[in-house]
Amino acid sequence: MSVIVVAGFLVCVLGLIFVLVLLPLGERTIRYERLVRAERDRLWQALWPLGRSAGWSGGLHSVQGFRGGATITVSRRWRRGAPVRRKIALDDVVQGRRFSLRVVDDSAFGTSFWAHYRETVELVPEGDSVRVGISRTDRYRGVVLFAVRHFATWRRLLRLKLWAESKHCRRPGWSQSLGKLGLSGLSALIF
């Protein structure tokens, strides 16, 4: 094998790693909307972190509110089996219509990971339905996190629609396993 082929392969692999993980994309906003046939209050109680149905998807273990924010304990476990805890600040709250949140502290990731993150949820009535909009703004480095957030936002709205219209939330079955398999394959290709 010639040195030129090996050098070319190495440059391609390093270039791919740069694009996937390091390429500065700047501040970007991901926005998805979905029309949901449900009462606005039901959707508000599900999306509002302090709502009665905030644990609709099974992702939350507990929520403790405080003035201007909340501490969320996520049902996933982190290092040594400790639960993931996030402290969030709630801004621009119009009860039943919209709110924004920022992550102030996180036990799994450092605060620098969330430094530029902002999520906004809006509920707009349209006849007997509600248009639910979720936008997530962050400063991205690399295409991978940007793509993962796109998929996660799209999937959250789809699951919310299924939950709100059928009164229950299906556990993610084969689609979650397929996603994990795809990410594992991508990781193996990168390394």
pTM: 0.78
pLDDT in tens, 141-160: 888 888 999 999 999 999 99
Domains of the chain from N-terminus onward: 3-190 (3.30.530.20)
Low-confidence ranges of the chain (pLDDT < 50): none
Q: Residues 77-86: pLDDT tens digits?
A: 776 778 889 9
Q: How far apart are CA 133 and CA 35, in angstroms?
A: 9
Beta strands in the chain (DSSP E): 24-36, 60-66, 69-77, 83-94, 98-106, 118-126, 129-141
